[in-house]
Amino acid sequence: MTAGTVDRTLLADVRARVGATGAEVDDAAVADALRASGRVIGSQALTDLTRAARAELTGAGPLQALLDAPGVTDVLVNGPRDVWVDRGDGLHRADVDLGTPADVRALAVRMAAVSGQRLDDAAPTVDARMPDGTRLHAVVEPVAPEGAVVALRVLRQTTLTLDALVDAGAVPRQWQPLLGALVVGRANLLVSGGTGTGKTTLLAALLGLVPARERLLVVEEARELAPRHPHVVALAARRPNVEGVGEVTLTDLVRGALRMRPDRIVVGECRGAEVRELLLAMNTGHDGGMATVHANAAEHVPARLEALAALAGMPREAVAAQAAAALDVVLHLRRRGGRRHLAQVGLVGRDAGGGLEVRRAASWDGYGDPVAGPAWDDLRRSVPDVAGPAWDDLRRSVPDVAGPAC
């Protein structure tokens, strides 16, 4: 594959024809423009050209086929012939030739433009979201010596159920009753983990367990969550345009969601000052909330929350008080090789000095049986409404994990 997959003259003609009609740049509009070009094109060639032309006009050009491939999570460009792909099992070199460093730069600039952002000598870095939701981060000269360095992250809407995650070995079967009890009992849950550990996947599965009568307000930076639930209101943030206006932040959306009669407020990923609004919401009667956050381990979540809340001007003491009152349980995911699994269940509370802490209630290495932790019994005592009859079912079904502590 090369950067010249679509003839430049034909591409310019198609771009002009689509622009003249004012139609949305979709497959139908591109196909009509190709037919109107006067070229003799067979049906299969028309399909291939339509796909390639649309990729050049609104997508990632010669990289689009990699982004569309099943299982691909990341596409990384270090140079014209230095392209890497992650399919969930680590990085592998892709057989792609993007031409010259100038071609790579031009591709990065065009992707930034279709994302409504600027990328040039005066603004040599960009962090944007493409029309299909793909995250784009690009750096051009003079910051990057090889024309441009590009990182593309594929966002796929997640629809797996908890049963499917259990069958896939991502969640121990012994913990399935516990997770169901936490969700139905309206515990406030925080899903943590590193990049690519499956936080969004688990969150979507848990949302599928929410009773159908409840209204979910889901706030995300880009649409990823697609829970199997009949009443989901999805709100997506918007970045400022090239003039620097029009921004709608996650903080704005969380604050607005409180006025939209939510039964539960869900934040796809807490990565900034919006954590303050989320904690406030969970402390004002909106229980059953859920969110994800980046962290290396469950016990590192307090430090992460403190760092994020500091962006909103919250002192450490206020974070500890708000988070301990708002959050019940942390579910921490890990990735080992190409395998993702729920590794820890942690109980949120305050330590002897009044600081925020997450204590290990149970852990799992992804292969053997789950192991009970020091806070297993405290989890039952501190969240009695969640435990209920389901906890007795858990004790009977998981004697090795629950043990006498349950």
Instruction: Kindly report, residue by residue over 368-388, the tens digit of the pLDDT.
Output: 889 989 998 888 776 554 444
**Do residues 3 and 130 share a domain?**
no
Which is higher by pLDDT, 379 or 157?
Answer: 379
Q: Each residue of 235-262: pLDDT tens digit?
A: 988 888 777 788 888 889 999 999 999 9
**Do residues 223 and 344 share a domain?**
yes
**Domain enclosing residue 11, as ranges:** 1-58
**Do residues 312 and 169 share a domain?**
yes
**Do residues 146 and 170 share a domain?**
no
**Do residues 196 and 68 share a domain?**
no
As a whole-number percent, the residues of the chain with pLDDT over 70 amount to 79
CATH value at residue 76 = 3.30.450.370
- Rounded Cα distance, 191 and 257, in Å: 20
Query: Which pLDDT score is estimated for 388?
Result: 46
**Do residues 90 and 209 share a domain?**
no
Q: 0.85 cut: is pTM over it?
A: no
